[in-house]
Amino acid sequence: MLNIGNKKMHGETNEMRELAARICKDYLHGAWKNVTADDIGFKHISGGLSNLLYHISLPANLYDSYDDTKKHHNEPKEVLIRIYGQTHGEGALEALITESVIFTLLSERGLGPKLHGIFPGGRIEEYINARPLLTSELANEKLSVQIAQKMAQLHSMEVPLHKEPAWLWNTIDRWLKTCDKKLKGDIPPFIKNLLKGVDLREEVKWLRTRLEQENSPVVFCHNDMQEGNILMFVDQQDKENNPLEQQIVIIDFEYCSYNYRGFDIANHFIEWVYDYKEDNEPFFRANTKNYPTEKQRLNFIRAYLDERGSRENPKKVLREVEVFTLATNFFWSLWSFINAETSQIPFGYWEYGFSRLSAYFQLKERLSCNLQIKRKVECLSLD
């Protein structure tokens, strides 16, 4: 059995190169059976905040010489190795297994990259000649429509998983158990101040009641459709002349589950605000001015509804999504808190959690105020 537990989870280390060569040799066919760590092309790719990705390629001479023998099994010339990040608490292993099953299903249905192999601690995927979108590109109208269509296609899938939206609440409950002890320990002062007088479990009760009032349809969701998980195919001959006509593909199905439609759309919109390409601490930038305008949100929602063949009122969905923005901010704040000081990926988890939970409280106050104003107007009209 492969053991990656003692390997460094960052950088282009010699240990990771040796591990990558061994994984390819054990799980792939043809010329891969003869590779050594010195043979392979090896490059660490930014894999987001949960996993590490490595682009591995065969040297041309090794592939060509093996191809001449006609003994190859149509093996790829290059692959992507994904090393899973840390798992947290009860149910984490089950979630990882579920994600692998989902990845396999989407691969077989042509909705995701091809799966080449699964090993303890990660998997081997098809390498797609593509790049992740930039945060600024999410606002491009053509790309936004394509993303909406991809999301609608995913939401239309029937997947053999539990059809109730239990994933959201079970995950929050599991993360809260981890947070209970952690947030009582030595935490940054700005987090202590933010949480002063706050009962997170009571917040969850309130949040659940509020979300259920929206009657958002439960569909098969991605739950993390941010720019790093949206790839644009790169055509070297045409990328400068017509870059926006390239096909996009959605990747990273770690959080896929049946969930509220409003969560998936709201989660995508809030990602317009966060740029994870910052080189300096805390390794992200938040610019609330980048949140999509009402026009941009409606354009996305209309494209989504058209792709699903729905005649729903886009403005009704817009209001639903605004409420579910509460959920996505609360959800990722907990995720950030449990990763703080345990993740080996350099990122300002405390700062990010602070940003998301602050946004949650601000939106909650605004929505509550709007509701109070609405009720006051209704009472006045009755008088």
56-74 pLDDT, tens digit per residue, is 999 877 766 655 555 555 7
Tally of domains in the chain:
2
Distance CA 35, CA 276 (A): 35
CA distances from 126 to 87, 146, 149, 192, 305 (A): 24, 22, 23, 44, 31
Residue environment code for 25-38, b if the CB has 16+ CB neighbours within 10 A, otherwise e? bebbebbbeebebe
Tokens matching residue 160: 């053999």
| Same domain, yes or no: 146 and 285 | yes
Q: Which of 223-232, 241-250, 294-303 has the lowest mean pLDDT?
A: 241-250
What letter would DSSP give residue 280? Answer: S
H/E stretch holding 232 reads strand 230-233
Give per-residue pLDDT as tens, 211-231: 999 999 999 999 999 999 999
Mark whether 78 and 182 lie in a shared domain: no
Q: What are the pLDDT digits (tens) for 342-364?
A: 888 899 999 999 999 999 999 99
Structural tokens at position 84: 């899973």
Rounded Cα gap, residues 337 and 176, in angstroms = 10
pTM higher than 0.85 for the full model? no
φ, ψ of residue 264 to 5 degrees: the values are: -65, -45
Q: Are residues 230 and 173 in the same domain?
A: yes
Question: Which one, of 347, 353, 377, 341, lies nearest residue 88 by Cα?
Answer: 341
Q: Are residue 120 and residue 232 in the same domain, yes or no?
A: no
Based on the fold, state whether residues 209 and 270 are members of the same structural domain: yes
CB atoms within 10 A of CB 345: 18
Residue 8 lies in a domain: no
Q: Which residue has the higher pLDDT, 78 or 5?
A: 78
Distance between CA atoms of 24 and 16, rounded to whole angstroms? 12
Residues 239 and 252 in one domain: yes
How would DSSP label each residue in 33-100? GG--TTTSEEEEE--TTT-EEEEEE--HHHHHHHHHTT---S--SEEEEEE-----STTHHHHHHHHH
At 30, is the pLDDT very low, low, confident or very high (cuts 50, 70, 90)? Answer: confident
| Residue 140 and residue 23 share a domain | no
Bridge partners (DSSP) of residue 42 are 56
Reading the block at residue 144, the tokens are 């936004």
Report whether 203 contacts 243 (CB < 8 A): no
Label residue 111 by pLDDT band (50, 70, 90): confident
Domain range spanning residue 229?
131-382
